[in-house]
Structure 1
Amino acid sequence: MASGSGNGDAGGGTFALKPWELHGEGREFEKISEDFGKAVSTLEQSLAALGSPWGQDRPGSGFAAAYKDARGGLLGGLRGLAGQLGQVGSGLHTMAERTVDAETAAAAGFGGAAGQGGPVTPAATPGARTTVPKDRSA
């Protein structure tokens, strides 16, 4: 996704963001989010299927009260985590699009082609959007 040299050499380091790789990683996070959400739903159904085996006596009632609060907090947190994983994927897509926009704008400002053979080709007409390949991995 990114490469760089942080060793302070006189030649300077390079840093390259490849939009198609950012999009690919974004799709991966979206898939992980979906899978995680399904696992949370399965867990929730499994816990519900257990019913309330702790009984109605005083110790059982005390356990039930604590368990229900803990279970609700756990499941709510896990659902929130699934959503946040999806937001990471969306953020990576946004980063890819902004990288293309920034490189295109910079190239247009210098009157040249973006990347000089790199991944981004500037738009032929002002205001036109560039096309970024979705995935170039082997």
Structure 2
Amino acid sequence: MASGSSTGGAGNGNFVIKPWELHGEGREFEKISADFGKAVGTLEQALTALGSPWGLDKPGSGFAAVYQEAHGGLLGGLRGLAGQLGQVGSGLHTMAERTADADTSAAAGFGGRPAGPGGPVRPGATPVAGTAVPKDMSA
């Protein structure tokens, strides 16, 4: 998570989640996922371009049998990892939205406005219609 997402020293019990930072981190994971997926595609093309250089003799055939199984497992695992990185990004977006919704609901219940980049909840404030926690301040 981005620097500054949690605050407080030892034993003070404070924890702060900033939805806009979670969205930013979610976008980072989605970018890493896309870049990793492209790298896996490039690797797959490069390995395919090599063809079958091991030959058809007994040692070459033995190597080919082991290589083909490992090759499929490796590429499948790498593609799966790229997908899981993207899912982490989606999960961070979901967490940010749920955090913002919970903060908005809690602030409205206490007659204030949610904390956000604009400042803290003002004691005794009257909720303003349509006031919501910013979804993303980093873009």
Q: TM-score, normalised by structure 1?
A: 0.84
Residue 102 in structure 1 maps to residue 105 in structure 2: no
1:47–1:129: structure 2 CA closer, same or farther, 3 Å change rule?
farther
Residue identity (%): 68
Of the three residues 4, 7, 10, the one matched with 1:7 is 10
Give the count of matched residue pairs.
Answer: 130
Residue 92 in structure 1 maps to residue 92 in structure 2: yes
Q: What are the Cα deviations for residues 39-98 of structure 1, in whole angstroms up to 9, with x where unaligned?
A: 000000000000001111111111001000001000000000000000010011001100
1:78–1:129: structure 2 CA closer, same or farther, 3 Å change rule?
farther
Report the 3-state secondary structure (helix = DSSP H, G, I; strand = E; otherwise coil) of the residue aligned with 1:103.
helix
Structure 2 Cα separation of the partners of residues 132 and 38 of structure 1 = 32
Partner of 1:75: 75
Partner of 1:136: 138
Maintained 8 Å contact 2:97/2:135: no
The gaps in structure 1 that reach 5 residues or longer are none
Once the two structures are TM-superposed, the CA of residue 133 in structure 1 deviates from its matched residue by 4.5
Once the two structures are TM-superposed, the CA of residue 130 in structure 1 deviates from its matched residue by 3.0
Task: Quote the RMSD (CA, aligned, Å).
Answer: 2.4
Q: TM-score, normalised by structure 2?
A: 0.83
Maintained 8 Å contact 2:54/2:61: yes
